[in-house]
Structure 1
Amino acid sequence: MAHTTDGRLDPALRRLIGVILLGGIMGILDSSMIAAAADTLARDLDTSLATVSWVSTSYLLALTVSIPVTTWAVDRFGGRRLWLAGLVVFLAGSIGSGLAWDAPSLIVFRVVQGLGAGLLDPLMLTLLARASGPERAGRVMGLMGVVGSSGPVLGPVVGGIILQGLSWRWMFLVNIPIGIVALVLALRTVPKDAPAPGTTAARLDVTGIALIGPGVAAGVLALSQAAERAAFAAWQVLVPLAAAVLLLGGYAVHALGGRTTAPLIDLRLFTRRSFSASVTVGALVGLATFAALFALPLYYQQARDHGSFASALLLAPLGVGSALSMPLTGRLSDRLGSRPLALGGSVVAGLSAFAFTRAGAQTPEALTALAAFALGLGLGAVGAPTIASLYRTLPSALVPQGSSVLYMLNQLGASVGIATVALVVQTAGDGDAVRGFRAAAWTVTIALVVTLAAATQLPGRPGPRQQPEESGPPAAEESAPPAGTGSRAGEDPAPSTTGEGAAAGAARGEER
């Protein structure tokens, strides 16, 4: 897509961004909206809270399992077809969830929803990165980050508003009109991207899917169980954790060893400093964000005696701060590079989290709201430039793989954050809500100090870049692109997409 000569995004790209974000917001809201309805679901479906927790867990597990397949499918079927399929699957799951007759049926339909969201969420990154190009990555990723960061905050608020006067079923049925509009607009706006004539997509890495999807899902399940039980030494945590280690270890052996099919995700991407730094910071931002989202409502409810809806409203400043800083810092990163902005954001967020370590039961709510706003500003200033740095330095052929890795690690980071805070609040607090919250705030502060260290490895000011060019298929099997890369061009002519060759197309503009 073209850009206007004064640097602004052209109308076609702006329309595409709007359509993609409209479709993506449904899954992001649904992942957190259900938190406001736990008690209502347990009562109306005549079941326990432990069973209701699987309404969220099943969604998250299905989403995680389907993410790696997107890496291969985006070039096998095209991003447009896959986006439309994701919308249809998500809509089908939403309709089924809204009409569910008991807890097991709701869990099953939430699995369908999660499968659709697992297609949509990484595709948001892939489609927007490809359409914007490396020189506009920061600006576009900043806009996308507004949806990603505000969704978890707005989800409980929207859920609370719906439950004020409507049945819990409308938390799912509300997706129907939104999804239909998103589907119609996508048919008109998302460009076709069928493979070029004469090219073939890589064969599906079935072994990789059998290892990495269940492996990541088992890790998420272990962390979810740790959060639910506020303990790591329970068999419900240790069994899936051991399964995750075995499956992911098996994938590493499979991906790096001899094989006839290119791996689903080429682990040699991690030999590139900028990629490793970007996904590490992305995981840490997910950890810090969701740890704060979990801890702050507990503080307002347990230490300040607020209801769930009021607590959700008091959480809003965090989302507002992030929504304000992401577009600005994303745009600035196109000129200044990612490193200085991420470093500054880490400092602001870390100081804000440290301020929460001093909060008490009598601390004015204006001060806690201000600290939450500053925390959101800092996290947004880290998130958007970090996402942009990944796509700015990856050849376009590797964008689907980068999207999958980034999203999976962000989800794992979020699960780690929730599990850790749940454990810290229960063990360190020992019945004292304020002491537990302060311990959770220290957890977030430490995570942001680690983020600050990792951010030093992000790319600095962008250097001169060549525009992507089409390249022919590799001449030899060992240089064939990994699954999910197809035959799309890199950012330099005829890049190799394996090992160190994958970095060559972007290395000249990566560090400055």
Structure 2
Amino acid sequence: MTVSNASAVTAENTADHLDRQTRLTLAVLVLGGIAAILDTTVVTIALHDLVIDLQTTVTTVQWVTTAYLLALTAVIPAVGWAEARLGGKRLWVAALTTFLVGSTLCALAWNPVSLIAFRVLQGLGAGVLMTLMMTLAMRAVRGKAMARVTAAMSLPMAVGPIVGPVLGGTLLDWAGWRWIFLINLPLCLAGIVAALRVLPDDAPTRDTARPTLDAVGLGLLAPGLALTVYGLSRCGDSGAPGGDGLTAVLVAAGLGLVAIFVGWALRRGDAALIRVALFARRSVGSASVMMFLVGMTLYGSMFLLPLYWQQARGESALGAAILLMPQGVGSLLSRVLVARLVERFGAPIVSCASFLLAAVATAPFAFADTTTSTWWLGAVLFVRGLGLGAVMVPIISSAYVGLEPTHVAHASMQTRALQQLGGAFGVAIGAVLLQALAGHGLIGGFHTAFWVFTALAVLASLASFALPAREKAPAR
């Protein structure tokens, strides 16, 4: 290696080095994010116990998850405005406090209605946390080592599927369902104390221009997203009041409001609630499309796999959670390694390979029957986790390429909202397929559904090449 090349490498490594304050900031953000994501995976395992203890029906208790998802989705568009008005640190602490209060009230709920209402409060806090986490992280690192930072920020999403179901099953067996909410209290308190001590004070000063809230845009986009997600969540529910007709009306109304918002935002420009024009940038536009596909493949499979183990294989809730652990372990492992792969090969290649790996590891479930070895399927799930765990890092890191600091929050909101919508579509596809194919036998319905999600993963692998290619280092 020549002296000039050695100097270039040294300079590049120095540029990618993160100082102690930045590393502490990232650790605090991960700590706060774990509470929100862990709660999502823990609660799903407790629905059966909630039906019995609260003396209600499955249709009613489904609102415990649906209301949380609706609140989480509806609050996303307002995060950018709130962060500009309050500052990132204040908003982060406020969101953690909201989640803490919501968790406490959920543990004290006395009937299904009160629990659903308190879950809305939880969802509002979680929506802010999950959106603001990436914004503050990208601002802290100032464009350095984005792939590695993205991998660190997505750590809660890798840990949640591993720890959440098993923790939920254990708490249900030993302490009761109220403890699945009380477990959030120490995490939130630790996150609040750490944020107050570590996060930099970025509150706007008197001289800082404070944006006004685009009330019209919020009135269009928030209910548009909520109606769309709610309509999609009804797909496949044969007992839903109004049947398929009302579901179609809800989805059409939601998408119509979103379309009207797009026209409104284009006229408002930078004064709009979110900057729709950012979709025209290759980095944001391609990453948003890919996040939609990630949501479909990830959440759709998260809906199908527990049902497969419980309905087709007769496993208990805790047994299904344990059998799904290899996928979470693979996801966690891949997030440790994927950042360096993105830096070496570029986002498009890593994203394409990750989706193909997920597709190859989904196909065996389209052949599995009630006698297929659980050891074989566990190995397949581990490989599937490697693929799905790696897809987020190249996509999210690509979304911020070349963005000005003022656009980071908007890019974070837009990609997060598209992921939530994709997740709702994925769950709806899985539910509709299982219901439509019920006459062909339970196993046959699962086989077709897994083939569809295999095809979606292949489609996403091809779409990966729309992501920005790896930038070459400038000549020194």
Deviations 1:462-496 (Å, cap 9, x if unpaired)? 23489xxxxxxxxxxxxxxxxxxxxxxxxxxxxxx
Q: Confirm or deny that 1:247 pairs with 2:247.
A: no
* Corresponding position: 1:14 with 2:59: no
Distance in 1 between residues matched to 2:236 and 2:99, nearest whole Å:
27
Does the alignment pair 1:234 with 2:247? no
Superposed, 1:131-170 pairs within 5 Å as 131-170=140-179
Kindly indicate whether residue 114 of structure 2 is the aligned counterpart of residue 105 of structure 1: yes
State how 1:200-239 maps to structure 2 within 5 Å.
200-229=209-238, 234-239=244-249
Alignment of 1:370-389 (within 5 A): 370-389=379-398
Residues 236 and 317 of structure 1, relative CA distance in 2, 3 Å threshold: farther
Q: Post-superposition shift, 1:429?
A: 4.2
Percent of aligned pairs with the same amino acid:
40
The whole-number CA distance in structure 2 between the counterparts of 1:276 and 1:191 is 30
CA contact (8 A) 1:145 1:327 kept: no
Letter in 2 for 1:447: L
- Counterpart CA distance in 1 for 2:200 and 2:340 is 24
1:301 maps to which of 297, 310, 325: 310
Correspondence for 1:55: 64
Distance 1:8 1:320 in 2: 28
> Deviation of residue 288 (structure 1)?
0.7
Shift of 1:212: 0.4
Q: Which amino acid aligns with 1:416?
A: F
User: What is the one-letter code of the residue matched to 2:278?
Assistant: L
Cα drift, residue 233 of structure 1: 6.1
Relative distance call for 1:92 and 1:15 in structure 2 (3 A) is: same
Give the aligned partner of residue 443 of structure 1. 452
Q: By how many angstroms is 1:317 displaced?
A: 1.2
Q: 1:329 aligns with which of 314, 329, 338?
A: 338
One-letter amino acid matched to 1:93 = G
C-alpha distance in 2, partners of 1:185/1:229? 46
Deviations 1:253-296 (A, max 9, x none): 21123x49711111111112222111111111111111111111
Please say if residues 339 and 459 of structure 1, whose CA atoms lie closer than 8 Å, have aligned partners that are also in contact: yes
Q: Corresponding residue for 2:9?
A: none
1:402 has 2:404 as partner: no
- Greater CA deviation, 422-431 or 268-277? 422-431
- Counterpart CA distance in 1 for 2:309 and 2:93 is 40
1:495 aligned partner: none
Question: 1:323-472 residue pairs with structure 2 within 5 A?
Answer: 323-430=332-439, 432-464=441-473
Deviation at 1:194, TM superposition (A): 2.7
Aligned to 2:180: 171
Q: After superposition, give the CA deviation of every residue in 1:228-259 in whole Å (9 maximum; x if it has no partner).
A: 349996134123212202211210121123x4
Q: 1:458 to 1:136 in 2, by over 3 A?
A: same
Is the 1:349–1:375 Cα contact (8 Å) retained in structure 2?
yes
Provide the aligned length of Structure 1 versus Structure 2: 463
Alpha-carbon shift at residue 358 of structure 1 (Å): 1.9
> 1:501 — aligned with what?
none
For 1:25, the equivalent position in structure 2 comes to 34
Structure 1 gaps of 5+ residues are 467-512
Query: Which of 55, 78, 82 matches 1:73?
Result: 82
The whole-number CA distance in structure 2 between the counterparts of 1:377 and 1:269 is 31
The 10-residue stretch of structure 1 (104-113 or 146-155) with the greater mean CA deviation from structure 2: 146-155
Larger helix fraction of residues:
2
Cα distance, 1:187 vs. partner?
0.4
Distance 1:335 1:397, change over 3 A: farther
Answer whether contact 1:282 1:409 (CA < 8 A) is retained: yes
Partner of 1:471: none
CA distance in 2, matches of 1:261, 1:287: 30
Q: Does the 8 Å CA contact 1:83/1:120 hold for their aligned counterparts?
A: yes
What is the rounded CA distance, in whole Å, between the counterparts of 1:154 and 1:436 in structure 2? 29
Q: TM-score, normalised on structure 2?
A: 0.92
Provide the secondary structure at the position in 2 that maps to 1:160. Answer: helix
1:370 to partner: Cα distance: 1.3
Q: AA paired with 2:263? A: V
**152 and 430 in structure 1: CA distance in 2 versus 1, 3 angstrom threshold:** farther
- Paired amino acid for 2:175: L
Structure 2: distance between partners of 1:9 and 1:144: 14
The residue identity in structure 2 corresponding to 1:332 is L
Quickly say closer, same or farther: Cα 1:320–1:76, change in 2 above 3 A: same
The separation in 1 between residues aligned to 2:294 and 2:159, in whole angstroms, is 14
Distance in 1 of aligned mates of 2:103 and 2:259: 35
The structure-2 alpha-carbon separation of the partners of 1:319 and 1:333, relative to structure 1 and needing over 3 Å to count, comes to same
- Using the alignment, how far apart are the partners of 2:440 and 2:196 within structure 1? 54
**Would the aligned equivalents of 1:228 and 1:419 in 2 still touch at CA under 8 Å?**
no
Structure 2: runs of 5+ lacking an equivalent: 1-11
Aligned partner of residue 305 in structure 1, secondary structure: coil
For 2:255, the aligned partner's letter is V
Distance 2:428 2:165 in 1: 19
Are 1:230 and 1:423, in contact at CA under 8 Å, matched by a contact in 2? no
Change (3 A) 1:86 1:465: farther
Alpha carbons 2:331, 2:387 under 8 Å: kept: yes
Change beyond 3 A, Cα 1:213–1:145 = same
Instruction: Say if 2:90 and 2:203, in contact at 8 Å, map to a contact too.
Output: no
